[in-house]
Structure 1
Amino acid sequence: MPIDFEIGGVYLPPIAQALLLAVPLLIAVLWLLQKLGVMQRVWHPALFEGALYACLCALIILYMGS
């Protein structure tokens, strides 16, 4: 079971840890997709990025639970 981390006197629950960890992963994945040309084929880039962020958060949370 994931534990709470304390950073500067502020406790971060596991969900906040997953949300923060997903940001650099999202940036890396978006950079890779941009280099591969996938983002040129996406109909609504902002919607795609939001959905990708939600998927990354869900995967991190599932990984933390096991």
Structure 2
Amino acid sequence: MPREIAFLDAYMPAIVPIFILGAMLTWVLDRLLARTGLYRAVWHPSLFRASLLVCVCTTLGLFVYG
């Protein structure tokens, strides 16, 4: 069953704030991974960043919808 969140008297799906939070967490993780030099061992850094965003948002979504 989809969950909705009331924000300023408007209902929005819970996935919207999850995506925003996931994007912020991904940005922090990206900065940490860049400082450690992990991106030198990654074949395609942009694809790695996109998949990291998907994994973080999916994990957060499982806590809400699971």
Q: TM-score range by the shorter chain?
A: 0.7 to 0.9
Q: How many residues align?
A: 65
SS of the aligned residue for 1:63 comes to helix
Instruction: Return the letter of the residue paired with 1:36.
Output: T
Tell me what 1:33 maps to. 33
Instruction: Return the letter of the residue paired with 2:33.
Output: L
* 2:44 paired with 1:44: yes
Deviation (angstroms), 1:10: 4.5
Instruction: Return the letter of the residue paired with 2:5.
Output: D
TM-score, normalised on structure 1?
A: 0.82
TM-score, normalised on structure 2?
A: 0.82
Identity %: 28
After TM superposition, the runs of 4+ consecutive aligned structure 1 residues lying more than 6 A away are none
Supply the RMSD in Å over aligned alpha carbons.
1.8
